[in-house]
Amino acid sequence: MALDTLETLAAPPLPATTRRRHLLDVDDWTPDELRALLMDAAHMRGVLAQSERLDTLRGRVLVNLFYENSTRTRVSFELAGKRLGADVTNVTASGSSVEKGESLRDTVRTLQALGAQIVVVRHSRAGAADLIAREIAGAVVNAGDGWHAHPTQALLDAFTLERHLGSVAGRRIVILGDILHSRVARSNVWALTALGAEVVLCGPPTLLPLAAVEMYTSRAVPGTGTPRRVAVEPRVERALAGADAVMVLRLQRERQQAGLLPSPREYTARYGLTPEHLRLARPGAVVLHPGPMNEGVEIDAAVAHGAASLIEEQVTNGVAVRMAVLALLAAGRMVESES
Amino acid sequence: MSETFLLRGARILDPAQGYDAHGDLLIRDGRIYALGPDLAPTADAAVVTLPASWVLTPGFVDLHAHLREPGFEAKETIQSGAAAAARGGFTTICCMPNTQPVIDSAATIAYVRDRAKDAPARVLPIAAISKGEAGTELAEMAELAEAGAVAFSDDGRPVSSSRLMRNALAYAAPLGLPMVEHCQDEDLVGAGVMHEGAIATLLGLPGWPAAGEDVMLARDLALVRLTGAKYHAAHLSTAGAVALVRQAKREGLPVSAEVTPHHLLLTDAWVAGERSGPLADALAALGIAVPPGARYDTATKVNPPLRTTDDCAALLEGLRDGTIDAIATDHAPHTTVDKHCEYADAAFGISGFETALASLLALVHAGRLELPTLVAALTIRPARAWNLDAGTLAPGAAADLTIFDPDEPWTVEPGRFASRGKNTPLAGLTLRGRVRQTWLGGRRVYDAGGEYPSF
C-alpha cells in the first residue's frame, strides 16, 4: 500500500513486526523491517495531521540526552515522545553534571536510577550509543554519534524519498559532500541500499572515507543476502548524471583549516548543488538536506527553496518517523519483559 | 635451604645453544651449572621432576613494557608489573620511561632500580631520549647509560624533529645503546584512534593510516645511514614497516625490530567486535569457539593500532625470516576508568604480560609458527639485539627459567591478573598453553600449582 494512502487511515500503528530493544544504527535492518517501520511512520503522519495523541508510551520516561547542539532532532524527539504520551525530559551537556566531569556511564546510570526507560542520545563520539546500550536496562535511541550513525535521519530520509519516488528500489541516489565526517551519509547508505537503491557517494577525495565501497559491498543486506550497490565518484558531473535524488551534506568551515579543502569558494564551484549541477540529474529529481544548511556553500538558495526541495518536509516527516521508532522500541520492550 | 636444583623430565628448549631435547638441568647458586641428558644428581640437589609434556626454556625477555611507576601507580607498580611478568614467564623486562616524572635522569633510573630490587623479574630501565620526552633537548644520555639505562626511547611521544633524532643517534652511538623509536608521524596520524580502512569507515572513527608508521621509519633509517648508530623499531604494525626493516638489514644497517603479540594476532575488525585474523583462525582450527565481541570495545584500542590480516601475515613472515628480532609485549596497563568510556577518549594500550605466551602458542598449535622460532624471539634474539645478559641456559648464565605446559587450556579472566591493568581484548577467550613455573636466579618466583605470589 502506498505510504500516502496509509496516512489517511489515521489509525494507531500496526503492531511492530519485529522486536528491537535499541536503535543504534540501521546497518542490521532487513528490508522487511524497514518497510514495516516506514508504514508505521505513514500512520503516524496521519496521527499528526489530525492533531491526535496516542498513549503508546503513557507513564514512560523518555530522556533526551544531548551532548551536542541540536534544534531539529531534539525538538523532533521531544514532540514524538509527547505525542505518544511519554514524560519527556531534556538534558544537555552544558548546565548538567557533565560539566563537572561526570562520565557518560555515570550520567546514564543516574538517569536510569531516576526512572529513564528510553534514552535518546546525541554525542560527538562514535560509539557513545553502543556504550550506553551496554550500561542500562532500558531502550537507547541513537540520535547521532560522531561520524558513525544517525539512524532516525536515515529512516526519515528513506520515508521522504519513498513518499515522492514511490519506491527507492532501483533508484540512483547521490549523497553529495563531506562523506568522511558524516553520520547521516553512513546510516543512509545502510537504509537506502537495503531498500534496493543504488547509492553514489560524491565529494572531494579528501572528504571521502577509505575503502567505503569495499566495506559496504562486503556486508550484504540482512534477510535477503542481496549485495549492496554503492559507488564512490569524486567527479560531480558523473555522479549526478541520471540521479533520482540528491542528498546534500553540510560543509563545516573547519575542513578548510584542517587542510582538507582549499576554500569554500572552490568547494561551492565544484561540489555545491547549484541549479546548473541539479540540471545534470534526471528531470524531476528531488533534493534533500539533513540541515542545518549553509546556503550558498554546499547548496544554492534557489535549489534549497526550489520545486525539487523536500528539505522542509524532511523535518515534518522526522516527527512521524521518530514516533514510529519509539513505538517500535516500546513494543519490543513489552514483549521482551513479558517473555 | 638447598641452593642446588636438578630439574628433570621436561623438554628443554634453548635456541641460543640450539638445544631441543628432553633432559635435565642442574642449577647451583642461582646459575645454570649443567644441561644434558640424564645428569647425575649431586648429593645436595633438590630434584624437581617435571612432566615430559612440559617445555623448559630460558626466562623470557621483554624489550618493551610500561610499569607506570613512578607517577601512575593506580595503573601498575613495578612490583605488580613484575608479578604479572612472572606469571607470563618473563624474567627480564625493559620498562619505558613515560612515567611521571619521566625517566630522564640518573635519579629516576636509581629510583626504578631501587623499587625493582626485590621484584620477581629483572627490571631494566629505558631512559628518555629527550628531557621530559618533550622532543626538544637531549636527555643526559651518557650519565643515563652509566646509571644503568639499557636503551633510549621517547615511546608514546615519537621524536618528531628529524634534527633531534639525528643528534640523538649521533650522540648515543659511542654509548652502544639502541635508540628505540615509536614510529609514528604525528602530523599524519592526527586524531586517529584506529587503523584507517574499511572498519574505521564502518565505525565512523578517525583513522590512522599505515603510512603514518612507514614514513617515520623510513626517515629514521635514513638517519641511521647517516650516523651509523644502533636503532630499534618498536612494535612494528604494518607490512610496509616490515619491508623497510628487511631492506635495512640487507644493507647491513645496525637495526633491530620487535612485534607485539596483538599486532601478530588481532586485526582492526576486533574494534567492530568482528574477531577475524590469525588468532581467531588458529583457535577455530583448534576447535575453540571465538564468540563475537562488542563494537567499540576500548580494550582493542592500542597504539599503534590493530591493522589488517595482510599486515598480520607480513609481520609473521618477518618474524619467521628473521627481519623481526623480538616479540615484545608493549604491556600497557590502565585503570577501568581509563578504558570505560567513549572509544575516542579511552587510553591506548593492552595489558599483555599474562596472555602473551598462550596467545602466541595458538600460532604454533595451528602450524603457522615453529616453537623454536617463537622461543628464540622471546629469549636470545631480544637479548642479543640489545646486548643483554639473558636469554640462554648456557652454563654460567643466571638461572632464569620459564616452564610451560603448551597444551593446557585456560580462560582469560582479567580479574585474576596480577597486573593492575585488566585491559585485554582477550577477556573470556579460551587459550591453550600456560606458564607453570617461572624461576629467577635459581628461585621459583611463580608456580601455577603453588602459592599465588601476592604483591
Q: pLDDT tens digit string along B224-249?
A: 999 999 999 999 999 999 999 999 99
Partner A, chain B 393-432, Cβ-Cβ below 8 Å: none
- Cβ contact, residue pair B344, A126, below 8 Å: yes
Task: Give the CA radius of gyration of chain A.
Answer: 19
- Cβ contact, residue pair B201, A209, below 8 Å: yes
A212 touches chain B (CB under 8 A): yes
Among all residues of chain B, which has the CA nearest to that of A102? B341
Classified as helix, coil or strand, A252 is: coil
Choice among A24-33, A88-97, A305-314 with the minimum mean pLDDT: A88-97
Q: Which residues of B touch A133 (CB under 8 A)?
A: none
- Cβ contact, residue pair B343, A126, below 8 Å: yes
Q: What is the pLDDT of residues B371-395, one digit of tens each?
A: 999 999 999 999 999 999 999 999 9
Q: What is the pLDDT of residue A95?
A: 72
Nearest to B342 among A127, A149, A186 (CB): A127
B343 touches chain A (CB under 8 A): yes
Q: What is the pLDDT of residue A334?
A: 43
Residues A308 and A257 in one domain: yes
Nearest to B296 among A103, A127, A218 (CB): A127
- Cβ contact, residue pair A215, B198, below 8 Å: yes
Q: Which residues of A touch B199 (CB under 8 A)?
A: 215
The distance of A253 to chain B (nearest Cα, Å) reads 18
Residue A17 has pLDDT above 70, yes or no: no
What's the rounded Cα separation, in Å, for the pair B330 and B351?
A: 8
Among all residues of chain B, which has the CA nearest to that of A146? B204
Nearest to B202 among A145, A183, A215 (CB): A215
What domains are there in chain B, each with its CATH number?
57-430 (3.20.20.140)
CB pairs under 8 A between A and B: 70
> Residues A299-322, buried b or exposed e (16+ Cβ, 10 A)?
bbeebbeeebbbbebbbbbbbbbb
Residues A159 and A304 in one domain: yes
Active-site option among B14, B330, B338, B400:
B330
Residues A120 and A107 in one domain: yes
Is B330 one of the catalytic residues?
Answer: yes
A222 touches chain B (CB under 8 A): no
Residues A309 and A162 in one domain: yes
Q: What is the pLDDT of residues B296-309, one digit of tens each?
A: 999 999 999 999 99
Best A142, A215, A228, A254 residue to mutate vs chain B (most B CBs within 10 Å): A215
Residues A110 and A14 in one domain: yes
Residues A171 and A273 in one domain: yes
A93 touches chain B (CB under 8 A): no
Among all residues of chain B, which has the CA nearest to that of A127? B296
The distance of B74 to chain A (nearest Cα, Å) reads 18
The distance of B265 to chain A (nearest Cα, Å) reads 22
Residue numbers of chain B with a pLDDT score lower than 70: 1-2, 450-455
Three-state SS for chain B is CCCEEEEEEEEEEEHHHCEEEEEEEEEECCEEEEEECCCCCCCCCEEEECCCCCEEEECEEEEEECCCCCCCCCCCCHHHHHHHHHHHCEEEEEECCCCCCCCCCHHHHHHHHHHCCCCCCEEEECECCEHHHCCCCECCHHHHHHHCCCCEECCCCCCCCHHHHHHHHHHHHHHCCCEEECCCCHHHHCCCCEECCHHHHHHCCCEECCHHHHHHHHHHHHHHHHHCCCEEECCCCCHHHHHHHHHHHHHCCCEEEEECHHHHHCEHHHHHCCCCCHHHHHHHHCCCCCCCCCCCCHHHCCCCCCECHHHHHHHHHHHHCCCCCEECCCECCCCHHHHCCCHHHCCCCECCCCCHHHHHHHHHHCCCCCHHHHHHHHCHHHHHHCCCCCCCCCCCCECCEEEEEEEEEEECCHHHCCCCCCCCCCCCCEEEEEEEEEEECCEEEEECCCCCCCC
B295 touches chain A (CB under 8 A): yes
Between the two ends of chain B, the Cα-to-Cα distance in Å is: 24
Residues A168 and A302 in one domain: yes
- Cβ contact, residue pair A148, B203, below 8 Å: yes
A88 touches chain B (CB under 8 A): no
Distance from the Cα of residue B379 to its chain's centroid: 11
Best A22, A103, A123, A125 residue to mutate vs chain B (most B CBs within 10 Å): A125
How many helices and strands in chain A, by DSSP H and E?
14, 9
Q: Which residues of B touch A130 (CB under 8 A)?
A: 294-296
Q: Which residues of B touch A215 (CB under 8 A)?
A: 198-199, 201-202
- Cβ contact, residue pair A126, B198, below 8 Å: no
What's the rounded Cα separation, in Å, for the pair B178 and B152?
A: 6
Nearest to B340 among A105, A146, A218 (CB): A105
Q: What is the pLDDT of residues A257-302, one digit of tens each?
A: 889 999 999 999 999 999 999 999 999 999 999 999 999 999 999 9
Q: Which residues of B touch A186 (CB under 8 A)?
A: 201, 204
A264 touches chain B (CB under 8 A): no
Q: Which residues of B touch A199 (CB under 8 A)?
A: none
Antiparallel, parallel or unpaired: β A118-123 and B231-233: unpaired
Residues A123 and A231 in one domain: no
The distance of B205 to chain A (nearest Cα, Å) reads 6
Q: How many CB atoms lie within 10 A of CB A282?
A: 14
- Cβ contact, residue pair B203, A212, below 8 Å: no
pTM for this prediction? 0.94
CA dist A267 → A240, A249, A251 (Å): 16, 12, 9
Contact predicate A220/A252, CB 8 Å: no
Residues A91 and A196 in one domain: no
Quote the Cα angle for A272-A273-A276, to 5°: 110
Partner B, chain A 106-145, Cβ-Cβ below 8 Å: 123, 125-128, 130-131, 134, 145
Q: What is the pLDDT of residue A6?
A: 65
> Domain span at residue A55?
3-149+315-338
Among all residues of chain B, which has the CA nearest to that of A149? B204
Residues A156 and A138 in one domain: no
Residue type, B70: P
Among all residues of chain A, which has the CA nearest to that of B269? A215
Distance from the Cα of residue A39 to its chain's centroid: 16
User: Band of the pLDDT at A338, cuts 50, 70, 90?
Assistant: very low
The distance of B102 to chain A (nearest Cα, Å) reads 27
What's the rounded Cα separation, in Å, for the pair A48 and A67?
A: 28
Among all residues of chain B, which has the CA nearest to that of A134? B294
Cβ neighbours of residue A50 closer than 8 Å, sequence gap 6 or more: A10
Please state, rounded to an integer, the average pLDDT across all residues of chain A.
92
Residues A212 and A156 in one domain: yes
Q: What is the pLDDT of residue A101?
A: 82
Q: What is the pLDDT of residue B386?
A: 98
The distance of A148 to chain B (nearest Cα, Å) reads 4
- Cβ contact, residue pair A146, B344, below 8 Å: yes
A103 touches chain B (CB under 8 A): yes
Residue given cell 633438590 in the structure block: B46
Among all residues of chain B, which has the CA nearest to that of A190? B202
Best A25, A108, A148 residue to mutate vs chain B (most B CBs within 10 Å): A148
Give ipTM to 2 decimals.
Answer: 0.92
Q: What is the pLDDT of residue A18?
A: 58
Q: Which residues of B touch A212 (CB under 8 A)?
A: 198, 201
Q: What is the pLDDT of residues B19-42, one digit of tens each?
A: 999 999 999 999 999 999 999 888
Residues A142 and A28 in one domain: yes
B346 touches chain A (CB under 8 A): no
Q: Report percent pLDDT > 70 for chain A.
A: 93
Q: Which residues of A touch B197 (CB under 8 A)?
A: 210-211
CA dist B85 → A144, B355, B357, B425 (Å): 42, 10, 11, 18
User: Band of the pLDDT at A1, cuts 50, 70, 90?
Assistant: low
Q: What is the pLDDT of residue A332?
A: 67
A209 touches chain B (CB under 8 A): yes
Q: What is the pLDDT of residue A99?
A: 73
B202 touches chain A (CB under 8 A): yes
CATH number of the domain residue A292 falls in? 3.40.50.1370
Q: What is the pLDDT of residues A91-127, one digit of tens each?
A: 988 777 777 788 999 999 999 999 999 999 999 999 9
Q: What is the pLDDT of residue B121?
A: 98
H/E stretch holding A33: helix A31-49
Number of domain units in chain A: 2
Q: What is the pLDDT of residue B2?
A: 54
B341 touches chain A (CB under 8 A): yes
